[in-house]
Structure 1
């Protein structure tokens, strides 16, 4: 079967593209990246040519199409079981999957109010109802997991769970949230990871501008 091809959108904005990209990159899983930029409405007709949902990210592996960020990560973990995408301990793996699913389905107030934007000038905004509760839950997850594992990442080494929360790190940073010392330490570890820095460098080099909607 052919190699993995990951289709993504703008690195500056596409939080869902960021998740599987940084997971595969951090785990040293080989893949080809194909970037199709958003139009002004944060979509692109070309997405329908490559994805059954008309959205990205989508992973091509020969004739197989795998869509949705967490499903892509799971598929890559099955292909490369020794890459460490998930913790090897069964209990840790169950917890990592639980918090990843919570990210997948939750925190809509934060995600709506504070779209990912790598290039955004760092400044705070007036936050709507629900955002503070989302942030409190997220930072509690981070602190609990890092205390349990010893850090620097949620389960010690970088894992799929960290990939799922990577765009949240950007949101807390560029929207200038006030965070405690433990949260700041985790955010620093994430931003210092070579895969993060590679994505950020590329995002800052992009010239495309998309209106401030969640991508």
Structure 2
């Protein structure tokens, strides 16, 4: 198997980097993680939400370079079908692609108001109408999947691309003290206890404060 390398911007602040990492773990491939330098323009643009054309994370496999998390997910699912990153049932696969795409392109108010910061805790954080609407829709998506496919993951008894896409949201809900209904709270905790997620969060705690501007803006 080709040795792979995943380029990321930050463990503490980058939801997209986390998704790329979880997707690689789902694929079961050997890979190393390389963090971009703090003064890398692409890294800063992503973390400060100043660019709509982000090329981090980026998965490198020999001469192949794949950026954008959905592209990484599709590439890995195609290249390593034995990993079963997508649900086996056709209806479930369609729903998995739909809600993953929705997470990829939507929920702008949530992203702007509740930026990822794994080390931070904001008890009693005030939620305005925009992020509240996004949170309600995410709970609707989670609840619907859990009701249909029975949990503990969104599509049954094994994690999928969709779980990797929504994992950073679980961290946001923890950071900003977001109240959830019981089933969604249980799923949030299940995501946070995912060994690969827990490993990432532990390493995020050790990440140096390399981009001071983030603490000012966020």
Please say whether Structure 1 and Structure 2 have the same fold, judged by a TM-score greater than 0.5. Answer: yes
Match of 1:50 in 2: none
Higher relative contact order (CA 8 A, sep 6+): 1
Unaligned runs of 5+ in 2: 46-52
Root mean square deviation, CA, Å: 2.1
CA–CA distance in structure 1, aligned partners of residues 128 and 62 of structure 2: 44
Bigger helix share: 2
Partner of 1:43: 43
Do the aligned partners of 1:37 and 1:44 also contact (CA within 8 Å) in 2?
no
1:71 aligned residue: 71
Distance 1:24 1:187, change over 3 A: same
Indicate how the Cα distance of structure 1 residues 38 and 138 shifts in structure 2: closer, same or farther if over 3 A, else same.
Answer: farther
Task: Report the TM-score, using the length of structure 1 for normalisation.
Answer: 0.89
- Determine the structure 1 residue equivalent to 2:114: 114
Q: Note closer, same or farther for the CA distance 1:35–1:175 as it changes in structure 2 (3 Å cut).
A: same
Cα 1:125/1:209, change in 2 over 3 Å:
farther
Deviation at 1:40, TM superposition (A): 9.6
Tell me the alpha carbon deviations over residues 126-159 of structure 1, each in whole angstroms, 9 at most, x when there is no partner: 2233111100000110011011111001001111
* Partner residue in 2 for 1:22: 22
Deviation at 1:38, TM superposition (A): 3.5
Unaligned 5+ segments in structure 1 are: 46-52
Alignment of 1:23-172 (within 5 A): 23-39=23-39, 43=43, 55-156=55-156, 157-172=158-173
1:99 deviates by: 0.2
Q: Return the TM-score normalized by structure 2.
A: 0.88
Cα distance in 1 for residues equivalent to 2:15 and 2:209: 15
